[in-house]
Structure 1
Amino acid sequence: MSEQFADVTAQTHEVINQPSPLENYNAYTTDTLLRYWVTQFGGQWGEEHLSRFGHQVGHELLAAGFEANKHLPEFQSHDRFGQRIDRVDYHPAYHQLMSHAIEQGHCALPWTDKRPGAHVVRGAMAYLHTQADPGSGCPLTMTFASIPAISVQPDVAERWVPKILTKAYDGSNRPWFDKSGLTIGMAMTEKQGGSDVRANTTRAVPVDQSGPGNLYSLVGHKWFCSAPMCDGFLVLAQVNDKLSCFLVPRWREDGNKNPMHIQRLKSKLGNQSNASSEVEFRGAHGWLLGEEGRGVATIIQMVALTRYDCMLGSTALMAQAAKEAIWHTAGRNVFGKNLHQHPLMVNVLADLALEWEAALAISLRMSHALDNRDNPAEAALVRSATSIGKYWICKRAIQHTYEAMECIGGVGYVDENVTARLYREAPVNSIWEGSGNVQCLDLLRILTREPDTLNALLAELEKGCGEYTSFDRALEKLKQQLAEQQGIEARARQLMEQLALLWQAQTLISYGEGFIAEAFVSARLTSDRYHQYGTLPSAIDAGAIVERAMPELNSDAD
């Protein structure tokens, strides 16, 4: 009897009613939403390239992302002989992720390929790479975004930009001039100032001559310096109380280490594969980019693009979270039928998919605007809408990733499932490169100082008029609220939310599928809308929205 009982208990661990993992697939060809919006905004010529990129993201790079987040960066301040080395060691998986992205043009494509849609194709690459590993996306986006700021100083750009754009990754710890490819970081934030960079106390004095392109010596401390193994850093420092921008290399021209000393690596909630550090400059050399006192104007060109990448990154988190939730629930039976066939679960999944598509629509709309910045209206849209998208998408991603985790249940909460990483990752894009309040204040400043920019933004929104009464009413109400200057700063978040929802709705109306636009307007712009996911009106065809978002694994030949 005891032997029979042992045989029975030995079989109780048979795994049933669990879906197969979402892996070994093509992250591009199986993503109906991404393919649709890439085509809508002129990136269809990149289909073959994106398909190859997506294949690797869904196969070996997906695994590399788990490894890079399991084996975290390690800081080595000195070598065994006592020499200061300031080295961060990464797991090989991190270098694998960086190498693939850079070699495929993640950092270079829009600067080297002038075809219309280059920013759209590159935006799709950034979105896909995030689904493999968001952390390594930090140095990638800074490298991509550094080009306009460095180009302010032609003589410095002549030596640095070609190496940034070579599509060659060199993760070795050696001088920049001995490397074939370079990466760029930034260091702006200080303890006492935070987002108020004009409160910075780091000082710079000329090594020999003053002026644009010349070397200065920097002394000071930075509270956050992301990706400290980059080859150069855009740094803000005071020159005679004039905030200025510098390119600070990790190695000096004479081949010696530049005294930019890492104090520690930050232990963070998320973004763990990326090394964020605290640094001191002890006479570190750096080239002045542009005129003294023009530091904010110079570095804001980089910041604007990294904020845009925050939109793409948070959209990618929502995409991956929604796909994981839809995939998991499609493979589970609960209460007698498939989990994603239960009406309430379908409502939640459809709401998650709707949020993801609206975020993707305006993110790639921004890519399209970047591709057409020679058009004054498109350039004006970039100046205003980047803050709107960065504010809204990055905030929505936090609740969105949690809701997807809840759909999956307890297994989604453990680190073996990617949704736990997505949830930890979500807040960083909302905080980095200017918190929500900073985005609101920046937008108010732009709209106040640049009436043409406000007119361009409203003209963009008005393209959605005439289709839905609720949209038209919401836009008219927004115009009235913008015209009322009394207490506008205190109301800035209300305005930002309305701007974001109207922009998403207009983009879906103008460029999207009709049933998606109708669902979004009905769910987000009516007076009885709710704030929790899973509260879509009953008239919406939630099943069709979920079906559209379901990963089409049969579209990948392997």
Structure 2
Amino acid sequence: MVVMEPSSSNTGFFQRLPVLENQFHDDVSFQRIAKLFVPASILDKVGPEIEQLGQEVLSQQIFDWITDAEKNQPYLRGSGRDAFGRPKSELVVTEGWRKLQDFGLARGFVAYNYDTNYGPYNRLVQFLRCHLWEASCANTLCPAAMQDGAARLLQRHLSRQGGLTDVQRQVLQTAYNHLISRDPANAWTSGQWMTERTGGSDVSQTETVAVYDPYPDSATTPLASAAEKTPLGPWSISGFKWFSSATDSQMTILLARTKPGLGVSAFFAPMRRHNPSLVSITGQKGGGTELNGITIQRLKSKFGTQSLPTAELELKGMRGWMIGEEGKGIQEISTILNITRVHSSVSSMGYLGRSIAVAKAYALVREIGVGKGKRTPLYKHPLHMRTLANTTVDYHGMMLLDFYTLYILGLDEHMSRPSQASAAAAANATVALSPPPKHLISPLLRILSSLHKAYICETTIPLVFGCMESLGGVGYLINSESEHINLARIFRDACVGAIWEGTTDLLSSDTLRALKHPVAGKESLSAMDWFVSDGLKLASSGSVGDKVQSGWNKLRERLEKESQGNLLPEARDITFRIAEVLMAVLYLVDAKVNPGREIDAMCNRYLNKRGFGEVQAGKGGNSFDLDLAIVYGSKGVGEKMAKL
């Protein structure tokens, strides 16, 4: 007689934990993207460091810091008051957040683009590194994104002859040096303050006011930093910023009005200023620093990104320096938005890449019932593998779109600054990714800058949820005790992508506006014409390519004939369809450059799903073995199971 033993809290079945592998090797799309977009001569040099980084971001120490940053969230000491009721805005961030931020600064996730000399390929390598870090950084790449945007803005102004006084140049150069530093003790992150109560991303109703009020002479000008002797700016800025992330940053770029009827202007301001009269809590004299005319009104309570300090800020006499021309702040802030939007899309892709990695790892260790007492490993279940394969196909398409955007961004940033390294890199580029004609690079970027973020950040959310769902009930839990499989945290954080830096509708409207511009719109349409025709020609795409070309031609005809007002209700559909055309061309190019059974199948599945073609006989297919290869790579799961 068989005696059945009941389970208990410590006996019975326990599910084996999934094991995450280094995504540098395990993520087949990551490998293909790196080989497609980065010249082999560069990839050979940077590959070992990125491989090591891929291992480091999966360490237990990193996951412990994530858990600490999530559980011990930012707060205002004393709820913004001292023991006797005096207002005192002191933000406290915890150990995990600080350690993760220090890790990111030391590894140069922002500095890489500014202190490495791979020319237009800097951006591609920078964001390959960011892609691996995103899901492990606990949102510290949010202030890093604004740090990157601010560095690019200051770099542009510092590179110009004239336009800055000696003092302004000193101040901006000092800030720029901090922004690109890899020393956590010296490096700065940056805020980006646009949002006010009058309307989210719409800054036309900005209520913050800046008044030109210089100090009488340099002897009486207060300092932002006594050690560096950097003076505070001549503009006094007051207002209320409704939503400001990166509240623990050392500087900010913000918008304010200077005159009635004039557009908003952009300003640089340090977060803190030197106060020689401050006395420490131990009674020590000699001065110290305080917030630069800023009161942290309260911290926001958010659905996701909970480790990130986001606040409402009241400004009273904040001292700053104007950036660029008065009333032209939108043009200045657009430089930052181009950067923060690619950070947003790479963040979404990093979350999705990690989510797929967790789902794959879980499928290797989980068994399920398949009827009549039979059980099978989840990776052998045909429906489950089809679902993960379809997710992988979408993931790869968006990776192509994301990194092509980064490729064009890198070309645009380096057009006027050719270097020996960039010339060498261009000579080693694959023929399939030959750069656009110089006059089409900026027009192509004008389309991509809003479009890629609108499509990717919106589309990844249900895909990340699908990976969370694939874990069943455990996927819904906040698995902080096993942080490496905590997809609930990743899902919550991924949701901000479709809102942060412009909602999907706003960015779709921006894309339509760019395409309908009477001059620049025609240039952007011509750039798209070049991309589609050149890509299809290089891919030798045949009848399938004809359907992709026809799809673009129909879109172009509508954009030329119909008014912006008539097209506006369909701006999202138009934007998404252009994104699908871009991804279809890139898929075909990828399959041509690095051919193989899995990429052929993925390409055909993508094209069929988007209505661009039919599977050719013997090419593509829908077998279980092919699903398995799409998810786990050409070597399948045998090698992975041997490691468990």
TM-score by length of 1: 0.89
Structure 1 contact 87–229 (Cα < 8 Å) conserved: no
244-253 vs 468-477, which deviates more? 468-477
Question: Structure 1 residue aligned with 2:633, among 529, 548, 553?
Answer: 548
Equivalent residue, structure 2, for 1:39: 35
Residues 339 and 435 of structure 1, relative CA distance in 2, 3 Å threshold: same
1:235 and 1:55, CA in 2 relative to 1: closer, same or farther beyond 3 A? same
Whole-angstrom distance in 2 between the partners of 1:62 and 1:471: 44
Q: Name the counterpart of 1:114.
A: 117
Unaligned 5+ segments in structure 1 are 171-179, 530-535
CA distance in 2, matches of 1:313, 1:256: 33
Q: Quote the RMSD (CA, aligned, Å).
A: 2.9
Q: Are the equivalent residues in 1 in contact too, given 2:607–2:613 (CA < 8 A)?
A: no
* Paired position in structure 2 for 1:501: 580
Residues 495 and 392 of structure 1, relative CA distance in 2, 3 Å threshold: same
For 1:247 and 1:433, how far apart are their aligned partners in 2?
Answer: 19
What code does the residue aligned with 1:382 have?
L
Counterparts in 2 of 1:70 and 1:12: CA distance versus 1, 3 Å = closer
Aligned partner of 1:533 in structure 2 is: none
1:177 match: none
The whole-number CA distance in structure 2 between the counterparts of 1:479 and 1:272 is 42
Do the aligned residues in 1 keep the contact of 2:18 with 2:365 (CA within 8 Å)? Answer: no
Aligned partners of 1:394, 1:104: CA distance in 2, in Å? 25
SS in 2 for 1:284: strand
Residue pair 1:470, 1:521 contacting (<8 A) in 2 also: no
Secondary structure in 2 matching 1:288? strand
Shift in alpha-carbon separation, 1:288–1:253, aligned structure 2, 3 A: farther
User: Bigger shift: 8-17 or 330-339?
Assistant: 8-17
Match of 1:202 among 205, 208, 214: 208
> Residue 272 of structure 1 is aligned with which of 306, 310, 333?
306
Tell whether 2:548 aligns with 1:514: no
Mapping 1:5-84, distance limit 5 Å: 8-9=5-6, 14=11, 16=13, 18-23=15-20, 25-42=21-38, 44=43, 45-59=45-59, 60-76=61-77, 77-80=80-83, 84=87
The one-character-per-residue Cα deviations of 1:453-473 (angstroms, maximum 9, x if unpaired) are 221123213334334144233
- Residue aligned with 1:279, SS: strand
Amino acid aligned to 2:19: L
Q: Which moved more, 1:382-391 or 1:478-487?
A: 478-487
Partner of residue 549, structure 2: 472
| Correspondence for 1:362 | 401
- Residue 284 and residue 12 in structure 1: after superposition, are their counterparts in 2 closer, same or farther (change >3 A)? closer
Equivalent pair of 2:512/2:575 in contact (CA under 8 Å): no
Number of corresponding residues = 536
CA distance in 2, matches of 1:240, 1:319: 47
Q: Which whole-Å CA distance do the structure 1 matches of 2:13 and 2:475 have between them?
A: 17
Within the candidate set 176, 182, 188, 1:182 is matched to 188
Q: Residue 256 and residue 552 in structure 1: after superposition, are their counterparts in 2 closer, same or farther (change >3 A)? A: farther
For residues 548 and 11 of structure 2, the distance between their equivalents in structure 1, rounded to whole angstroms, comes to 53
Determine the C-alpha separation between the residues in 2 that align with 1:136 and 1:474: 40
Q: Is the 8 A contact 1:106 1:126 kept in 2?
A: yes
Report what 2:266 is aligned to.
245
Note closer, same or farther for the CA distance 1:207–1:256 as it changes in structure 2 (3 Å cut): farther
Q: 1:64 to 1:257 in 2, by over 3 A?
A: closer
Alpha-carbon distance, 1:326 to partner: 1.8
Q: Which moved more, 1:366-375 or 1:197-206?
A: 366-375
Alignment check: 8 A CA contact 1:464 1:505 kept? no
For 1:464 and 1:517, the matched residues in 2 are separated by 14
Asked if structure 2 preserves the Cα contact closer than 8 Å seen for 1:17 and 1:332, the reply is no
- 2:486 matched residue in structure 1: 418
Pairwise CA distance, 1:256? 4.3
What is the SS of the residue equivalent to 1:372? helix
Q: Deviations over 1:310-345 (max 9, x none)?
A: 110111111111121122122222222222222211
CA 1:553–1:313: 2 relative to 1, 3 Å: farther
* CA-CA distance at 1:150 after TM superposition: 2.6
Per-residue Cα deviation, 1:174-227 (whole angstroms, up to 9, x for no partner): xxxxxx2211111100011212101111101012189xx952111110110101
Alpha-carbon deviations, 1:259-300, whole Å to 9, x = none? 111111110010111111111101111111111101111111
Task: State whether structure 2 residue 341 is matched by structure 1 residue 307.
Answer: yes
Q: CA deviation at 1:16?
A: 3.8
Q: Give the counterpart letter for 1:239 in structure 2.
A: T
1:294 maps to which of 302, 308, 328: 328
C-alpha spacing 1:17/1:118, structure 2 compared with 1 (3 Å): same
Conserved? CA contact 1:310–1:394, under 8 Å: yes
Q: Is the 8 A contact 1:226 1:276 kept in 2?
A: yes
Q: Please tell me whether residue 131 in structure 1 is matched to residue 120 in structure 2.
A: no
CA apart distance, 1:81: 6.0
Say whether 1:434 aligns with 2:438: no
Counterpart code for 1:474: G
- 2:302 is paired with a residue of what secondary structure? coil
The one of 177, 180, 185 aligned to 1:162:
177
Question: Cα distance 1:287–1:56, how it changes in 2: closer, same or farther (>3 A)?
Answer: same
Q: Report the residue type matching 1:269 in the other structure.
A: F
Q: CA deviation at 1:367?
A: 1.8
Measured after TM superposition, the shift of residue 41 of structure 1 is 1.2
3-state SS, counterpart of residue 138 of structure 1: helix
Change (3 A) 1:21 1:215: farther
**1:17 Cα deviation from its structure 2 partner:** 7.0
- Which whole-Å CA distance do the structure 1 matches of 2:66 and 2:320 have between them? 34
**3-state SS of 1:129 partner:** helix
Letter in 2 for 1:121: V
Q: Which runs of 5+ in 2 are unaligned?
A: 159-168, 217-231, 276-288, 416-437, 480-484, 592-598
The change in CA–CA distance for 1:485 and 1:528 in structure 2 (over 3 A counts) is farther
Cα distance in 2 for partners of 1:329, 1:70 equals 29
- Alpha-carbon distance in structure 1 between the residues aligned to 2:613 and 2:552: 13
SS at match of 1:463: helix
Question: Residues 411 and 259 of structure 1: is their aligned pair in 2 closer, same or farther, counting only changes over 3 Å?
Answer: same
In structure 1, what is the Cα distance between the partners aligned to 2:32 and 2:294?
46
CA drift of 1:517 comes to 1.9
Name the aligned partner's letter for residue 163 of structure 1.
H
Cα pair 1:202 1:237 within 8 Å, conserved:
yes
Give secondary structure in 2 for the equivalent of 1:422. helix
Partner of 1:173: none
Q: 1:303 to 1:447 in 2, by over 3 A?
A: same
Letter of the 1:514 partner, please give it. Answer: D
Per the alignment, do residues 273 and 15 of structure 1 end up closer, same or farther by CA in structure 2, a change over 3 Å counting?
farther
Contact 1:30 1:552 in 2 (8 A): no
Aligned with 1:428: secondary structure?
helix
Match of 1:285, SS?
strand
Q: CA-to-partner distance for each residue in 1:122-180, whole Å, 9 max, x for gaps?
A: 1012211112034111111111111222345431421210111111223xxxxxxxxx2
Judged with a 3 Å threshold, the aligned counterparts in structure 2 of structure 1 residues 240 and 495 are, in CA distance, closer, same or farther, namely: same
In 1, the alpha carbon distance for the partners of 2:633 and 2:86 equals 58
* 27-36 vs 493-502, which moves further: 27-36
Deviation readout 1:457-492 (Å, 9 max, x if unpaired): 232133343341442332233223322314111111
Tell me the residue number matched to 1:94. 97
> CA 1:552 to 1:480, structure 2 compared with 1: closer, same or farther past 3 Å?
farther
Q: Is the 8 A contact 1:27 1:128 kept in 2?
A: yes
Q: Is the 8 A contact 2:360 2:631 kept in 1?
A: yes
**What is the CA–CA distance in structure 2 between the aligned matches of 1:272 and 1:432, rounded to whole Å?**
14
Task: Note the C-alpha offset of 1:382.
Answer: 2.0
Residue of structure 2 equivalent to 1:328: 362
Residue 154 of structure 2 corresponds to: 150
Displacement, 1:503? Answer: 1.1
Structure 1 residues 377, 15: CA separation in 2 closer, same or farther (over 3 Å shift)? Answer: farther
Residue aligning to 1:221: 240
User: Is the CA contact (8 Å cut-off) linking 2:211 and 2:237 kept in structure 1?
Assistant: yes
Is the partner of 2:99 in helix, strand or coil? helix
Amino acid at match of 2:510: D
CA shift in 2, pair 1:551/1:496, >3 Å:
farther
Q: Give the corresponding residue for 1:459.
A: 530
